[in-house]
Structure 1
Amino acid sequence: MLAGYVLRLAGKNMLRHRLRTGLTLAGIAIAIVSFGLLRTVVDSWYAGAELGAAGRLVTRNAASLSFSLPVTYAERIRRAPGVRAVTWASWFGGIYIDEKHFFSQLAVDASSYLNLYPEYLLSPEQSAAFQHDRRGAVVGRKLAAKYGFKIGDTVPLQGTLFPGNWSFVVRGIYRGADDKTDENQFLVHWDYVNETIKNTLPAQAERVGAFIVDIREPTQAAAVSAAIDSSFRNSLAETRTETQKAFQLGFIALVDTILLAIQTVAYVVVLIIMAVMANTMAMAARERTREYATLKALGFRDGFVAMLILGESLSLSLAGGALGILLTYPAANAFHSATRDLFLIFQVQPLTVLLQLAAALLIGVSAALAPMLSSRRVQIVDGLRAVT
C-alpha cells in the first residue's frame, strides 16, 4: 500500500513540469534506442559466423588468404580421411557500374559448388542451364531484386584481380532455404575465368582462393583439418584448414577494433543520459526542498522521502526505457532496410532487450542517489525557509 501511495505521488510530481518530463523521457528513449541498435550491429556482425555449417571446413593458404593455392590440391584433400566432397572458389572482385555498387562475386567450380551448399535452392532447369553455359552466372534472390537481374540478362563487370571487361549471363536465381541464408551472392564459372587468364595472367592460372571441404562427421573437424594440413606440410604452399565458423570469425577479427568502438559508444550513450537524468532529478529535488521539510514536520521519516525521490526517478527512467525498447524494433527494421547488403541477419536479440531494461533501471537508480542523500540532510527549519 505504501508503494502504491509513493508511485501515485511520484506520478503527480512528474506531471508538474510536463515539458521537462517530456524532454527527459525523449532523451532516455533515444538513448535506449541507440544502445539497442549499436548492440544489434555488434551482434549481427557475429551472427554470420554462427551460420557456418558444422560439417564444412575451409582450406586456405597458411600464409594469408590473399595467397592462392594450386587447384591440384583438391585431389589430395579429397583423399584425406573423413572427407566426403571438395569444391573450390576464388574471389572475382569485379566492378559493376562503379565501386559503389559492390556485391560478392565468386568464381566457383560449377560441377560441385552448389552440391556443398544445399541451402542455395535452385531449380533443376536453371542449374542445368548454368552448368552448360561457361559464361553463365547464378545470382542470389536479394541481389537480383536489388539490381533487377532476370534470367537471360547480361551482367558486365570490369575486372580488378582479373583485368579486362567481362560479361556474364544470368542463368539462375537461387533462394535461401531460410531467412539466414545469404541471398546476395554472384557465382560464375571458375573454369571460364581460369581459361581466360591463362594467356593474360599465367601465374594466376590453375590456382584458387580456398577449398571448401564437406566432412562425414562434424565432430571430427579438428582431426580432418590436421590430416589435410599435414599432407601439405613443408610444401611451397602450406595450408590452414578450419571450420567455416572459424574462417568467418577470422574476417570479423579484422574489424575487432571497430566493433569494440561501437560497443564503447553504446555504453557512453547510457552514461551521458545518466548524467542528464541525474541533473533533472537534482533540479526537481531542489525545487521540493520545502515540501520535503513539510513531510518531515508531519512525521514522515527520511526513508519515505528517499522512496518518493527513487519512485519518481525510476518511473521516469522505466517509462523512457519502455518507450525506447518499443521503438527499437521499428528502428532496427528501418536500419536493416537501409543497409540490407551489409548484414545477413539484423534482429534485436532478447539479451539486448534485457540490457536495455537494465540500463533504464541503472539510469533511474543512479540519478536518484544524489537527491536521496541530499534530502536526508534537509533540516525542517532550514527546509521551510527555502525559497524555490
Structure 2
Amino acid sequence: MFLFKLLLKNAFRHKLRTGLTMVGLVVAICAFGLLRTIVSAWYAGVESSSSTRLVTRSAVSLTFSLPLSYAGRIKAIDGVTGISWSNWFGGIYQEPRNFFPQFAVDPQSYLALYPEYQLTDEEKLAFYRDRKGCVVGKKLADKFGWKLGDVVPIKGTIYPGTWNFTIRGIWTGAEASTDENQLLFHWAYINESLRKRLGNRADTVGVYIVGINEPNNAALISQRVDTAFKNSLAETLTETEKAFQLGFVSMSEAILVAIQAVSFIIVIIIMAVMANTMTMTARERLAEYATLKALGFPPEFVVKLLFGESLFIALLGGLLGLLLTLPLASGFGAAVGSLLPRFHVSAGTMALQMGAALIVGLVAAAWPAWKMSRIDIVQGLRHVA
C-alpha cells in the first residue's frame, strides 16, 4: 500500500506533463484499437464463412455468367447435398450512399443452405409465395426503419428500371458474426424480365452455392465440379466459401497491410514520447534516488519506483483509450453502414490494446531505471534538479 501511494504521488507530481502524456496514450491506444477493428471487420465475412458450402463461378471472371442448366449436373455430383444460385443486383435505394448488398436468389434452395438466416415459417412461406417479395437482415431493416409489408423501391444499375420489392421477412443471425445487412429477392423475378427484353441474358446465374456433406472433401468435390465442365463454353472455378471471400479481401490487401503498419507505428511513436517523459522524470529526481540509496534502499527499490510509475501511467492511459474506443467504434460502424456490416471491437482487439499499453510502460521505463539503479551516491547528492 505504501508503494502504491508513493507511485500515485510521483505520477502526478507534474500534473501537466503527466496529463499530456496520458492524452497522447489515450489517443494512440484508441487509434490502434480502431485501426485493428477496421482490419477485423474487413475479414469478418471470411471468418463467418461455412465449411460446408462451396462457390462455383466462371473460370474467366466473376463478371461472366454461368448457364442455369449447370444446376442439375452439379447436384448429381457425388458429395453434393444441395445446390442454389444467386445474382448480384447492385441497385440503388433512394441515393448512392445507401449502399447495401442485394442478391437475386432461388428462395427455397438458398435459405436451405443458409440456416444462419433465421426466419419464422410464416415469413418463409410468404416469401416463397410472393414473386415480388424479399427478405432483409434485421440490421438493414433497423437502419431504414423497414417493417413487414413495406415496399422497397430499388433503382437497377446492372438491371435497368425501378424494381419494387415487398418485405415478407426480416431475418436475425444465428450468431453475432452473421451478416444482417443484405436484401434477398426472387431470381425468377428478374429472369422473367430479362427473357422478355434481353433473351440472351436470361437463364444465367452469377454464382452457384454448393452444399457438401463432408468439409474434408471440399477440394475433391471442387475438382469434380470443375472437371464436369472442362473444355465447355463456360468453364467453372469452384472453391470454398472462405477462399471465395478471401478473393475479395485480397483485392485490398495492400491497404490492409498499410493500416496494420500504421497501427503499430502509432504505438512506437507514443512509446518514444513515454520514454522521454520517464527520462525527464528520472533526471529531475536524481538527488532523491541517491538519497534513497544512501539511506540503505537497494537499487531494486529505485527500479520498482520507475517501472511502477511508468506502468501506472501507461495502463491508466490504455484503459481510458480502450473505453473511448467503444463509443467511437459504435459511431464509426453506424457511419460506414453496410460497407463494414460487422464493425465491433472484439475481445482480442481490447487485449491487444492493453498489451500495447503494457509494452509501452515497460519499454519506456527500461533505460531510466537501469541508469538510476547505477547512480553514484555522491554524484547524485551533488545534483541540483
Aligned with residue 185 of structure 1, among 175, 182, 200: 182
Match of 2:117 in 1: 120
Do structure 1's residue 74 and structure 2's residue 76 form an aligned pair? Answer: no
* Equivalent residue runs for 1:293-372 within 5 Å: 293-372=290-369
Q: From 140, 143, 146, give the equivalent of 2:140.
A: 143
Check if 1:279 corresponds to 2:251: no
Identity of aligned residues (%): 54
Change (3 A) 1:354 1:185: closer
Looking at structure 2, the residues matched to 6 and 151 of structure 1 have their Cα atoms a distance apart, in angstroms, of 63
C-alpha change, 1:14 and 1:173, in structure 2 (3 Å) is closer
Counterpart pick for 1:105 among 102, 105, 120: 102
Q: Which residue of 1 aligns with 2:38?
A: 41
* AA aligned opposite 1:349: S
Give 1:139's aligned amino acid: V
CA–CA distance in structure 2, aligned partners of residues 381 and 99 of structure 1 = 74
Q: 1:157 aligns with which of 122, 131, 154?
A: 154
Q: CA deviation at 1:229?
A: 0.8
Larger deviation: 65-74 or 20-29? Answer: 20-29
Instruction: Report the equivalent of 1:173.
Output: 170
CA distance in 2, matches of 1:147, 1:5: 57
Q: CA RMSD in A?
A: 2.4
Deviations 1:77-129 (CA, angstroms, capped at 9, x unpaired): 01111112211000011111121111111111234222222222333333333
1:292 and 2:289 matched:
yes
Deviation at 1:153, TM superposition (A): 2.8
Match of 2:10 in 1: 13
Conserved 8 A contact 2:44-2:177: no
SS at match of 1:341: helix
In 2, the alpha carbon distance for the partners of 1:307 and 1:130 equals: 67
Distance of 1:294 and 1:332 partners within structure 2: 48
How many residues are aligned here?
A: 385
Q: Tell me the distance in 1 between the aligned counterparts of 2:293 and 2:136.
A: 74
Q: What secondary structure, in the 3-state scheme, does the structure 1 residue paired with 2:57 have?
A: strand
Cα deviation for residue 182 of structure 1 reads: 1.9
1:239 shift after superposition: 0.8
| Cα distance, 1:278 vs structure 2 | 1.1
Change (3 A) 1:264 1:93: same
Amino acid of the residue matched to residue 87 of structure 1? S
- What SS is found at the alignment partner of 1:166? strand
Whole-Å Cα distance in 2 between the matches of residues 376 and 50 of structure 1?
49
SS at match of 2:185: strand
CA distance in 2, matches of 1:125, 1:360: 52
- Distance in 2 separating the partners of 1:53 and 1:355: 27
Structure 1 CA distance, aligned partners of 2:13 and 2:226? 72
What is the alpha-carbon distance in structure 2 between the residues aligned to residue 242 and residue 351 of structure 1? Answer: 29
**Whole-Å separation in 1 of the counterparts to 2:151 and 2:345:** 38
Shift in Å, 1:290: 2.3
Aligned to 2:259: 262
Match of 1:130 in 2: 127
Tell whether the 8 Å contact from 2:322 to 2:353 is kept in structure 1 after alignment: yes
Question: 1:7–1:312: 8 Å Cα contact kept in structure 2?
Answer: no
Evaluate the alpha carbon distance shift between residue 177 and residue 292 of structure 1 in structure 2; reply closer, same or farther with a 3 A threshold: closer
Partner in structure 2 of residue 383 of structure 1: 380
Shift of 1:276: 1.1
The residue that corresponds to 2:224 in the other structure is 227
The CA distance in 2 between the partners of 1:210 and 1:42, in whole Å, is 27
2 CA distance for matches of 1:177 and 1:12? 51
Secondary structure (helix, strand or coil) at the match of 2:107 reads coil
Alignment correspondent of 1:30: 27
8 Å Cα contact 2:100-2:339 kept in structure 1:
no
Whichever residue aligns with residue 168 of structure 1, its letter is F
Within 5 Å, which residues of 2 pair with 1:189-200? Answer: 189-200=186-197
**Structure 2 spans left out of the alignment, 5+ residues:** none
Normalization by structure 2: what TM-score?
0.91
State the Cα distance separating 1:283 from its structure 2 match. Answer: 1.6
Q: 1:6 to 1:233 in 2, by over 3 A?
A: same
| Residues 295-317 of structure 1, C-alpha deviations (whole Å, 9 max, x = no match) | 34444454443332222212221
TM-score (norm 1): 0.90
Q: Deviations over 1:165-218 (max 9, x none)?
A: 322232333333343322222112211211212344333222111001112223
Q: Supply the distance in 2 between the matched residues of 1:363 and 1:185 (Cα, whole angstroms).
A: 42
Compute the displacement of 1:60 (Å).
0.7
- Residues 12 and 128 (structure 1 numbering): CA distance in 2 closer, same or farther, change over 3 Å? closer
